[in-house]
Amino acid sequence: MHFELTDDRRMLADTLNRFLTDTYGIEHRNKVAYEAPFHDPAKWAELAELGPLFALVPEEQGGFGGAGFDIATVFEPLGRALCPEPVLPALMAARLLAAAGEDLEPLLSGATRYAVALGETDAPYALEDIATEAAPAGEGWELTGRKSVVYGGNAAGKFLVAARAGDVIGVYEVDAEDAAVTGYGMIDGGGAAEVFLEKTKARQVLADAGAALQDALDFGALALCAEAVGAMDVTYDMTLDYLKTRKQFGRAIGSFQALQHRMVEMKTEIEQARSITILAASRMGTEEQSRTVSMAKNLIGRAAKLVAEEAIQMHGGIAMTWEYPASHYAKRLVMIDHQLGDTDHHLEKVMAGLQVA
């Protein structure tokens, strides 16, 4: 397998890294990530103008990417910067709208912000357990139910809602102003919302959306894996620099063999996470897509937790302070495991797909 980025992807990664480094320092990030609207609308407009959203969809749908490696190329720099902008909801919405043959220009230009409303209190991950109901109403539809932890929902203009019409799960577009939306900040920064629907008018986007919804979840999980790799890289480098400069008993603590061994273990876990993310990216669009993404998400969840815990332990008390970046990277790494299915959920998916001879 060829592991080097193409020239176009390398240029995209360099441009995005430079933009985030110049405009999204950790102080600015923390200022906007924890206060409503839990991101920076001005920076969102600049990010959209820069063009990375167009890398999320293929050329035939108005973009210039859409492959697994394009997704990873966009989200790894976002992870390095802990960027709280709602790019993940945009990616998942783009997959659903593309599957329906809808116009993607408002989304890709950043003019319209979408959020994908899937999870419910009794069905956080499993699509088959969705209970939100869709009923015909004149020329349109009405939705009744509640969607929980809708990422980016606090600032969305439109929702793509998974709802059940009889035995079939479809996707319906709802204007944010027609729903009861309670926005809030997440513990690791960024925003989400509870969305309450009570005979809320909606437009059907996809009638039978099972495959499209799974595809959106797969691409979203791949994006989170790439984001985690970027965040783990920065966390490792931050910890290594600290061990080189922090002195105890007259010498740098990084000279102690026990800590060196722990750093090697961290590096090994990060490289395994990077490798399986590359594997998952290479299998997007194949029959192995869902299974490989679940394998990656399971491994990433475990590796990210280890990196977060080790970084805090080896830093000591300073890593628990608000001012030091390590605490924010650790929170994000732990929370990534719980987005779009945690380690246990994806392990169950992998096991369910195994065939016993």
**Environment class of 258 (CB within 10 Å of its CB; exposed 0-12, middle 13-18, buried 19+):** exposed
Supply the CATH classification number for the domain 114-208. 2.40.110.10
> Domain spans of the chain?
7-108, 114-208, 212-352
pLDDT digits (tens, 9 = 90+) for 8-66: 899 999 999 999 999 999 999 999 999 999 999 999 999 999 999 999 999 999 899 99
- How far is residue 234's CA from residue 227's CA, in Å, rounded to a whole number? 11
Confidence of residue 5 (pLDDT cuts 50, 70, 90): confident
Report cis status (omega within 30 of 0) of the bond before 37. Answer: yes
Q: Report angle CA 269, 82, 49 to the nearest 5 degrees.
A: 125
Burial class, 290, CB count within 10 angstroms (exposed 0-12 / middle 13-18 / buried 19+) = buried
**pLDDT for 6:** 86
Largest CA distance in the chain: 79
Torsion of CA 86, 87, 92, 95, to 10 degrees: 140
The string of pLDDT tens digits covering residues 149-180 is: 999 999 999 999 999 999 999 999 999 999 99
Note the pLDDT of residue 248: 81
pLDDT-based confidence at residue 357 (cuts at 50, 70, 90): very low
pLDDT tens, 65-77?
999 999 999 999 9
CA distance 99 to 220: 15
Whether domain 7-108 has CATH 3.20.20.140: the reply is no
pLDDT at 356: 46
Strand ranges (DSSP E) for the chain? 114-117, 133-137, 140-151, 158-165, 168-175, 180-185, 191-206, 247-248, 251-252
Strand partners, 173: 160, 203
Question: pLDDT digit string (tens) for 212-228?
Answer: 999 999 999 999 999 99
Is the predicted pLDDT of residue 146 greater than 60, yes or no?
Answer: yes
Average pLDDT score, the chain: 94
Does the fold of domain 212-352 match that of domain 7-108? no
Provide the pLDDT for residue 246: 86
Measure the CA–CA gap between 268 and 276, rounded to whole angstroms. 12
Q: What is the pLDDT of residues 315-346, one digit of tens each?
A: 998 998 999 999 999 999 999 999 999 999 99
Looking at domain 212-352, its CATH architecture is Up-down Bundle (1.20)
Residue 252 pLDDT grade (very low, low, confident, very high; cuts 50, 70, 90)? confident
Q: What single DSSP character describes residue 322?
A: S
| Helices of type H across 121-209 | none
CB 57 within 8 Å of CB 111:
no
Predicted confidence at residue 253, as pLDDT, reads 79
Q: How confident is the model at residue 128 (pLDDT cuts 50, 70, 90)?
A: confident
Q: Does residue 255 register a pLDDT over 80?
A: no
Residue 314 has pLDDT above 90, yes or no: yes
Report the C-alpha gap between 216 and 237 in whole angstroms. Answer: 32
pTM over cut 0.85: yes
Q: Does 182 score more than 70 pLDDT?
A: yes
* Per-residue pLDDT tens digits for 300-313: 999 999 999 999 99
Q: 1 pLDDT band (50/70/90 cuts)? A: low
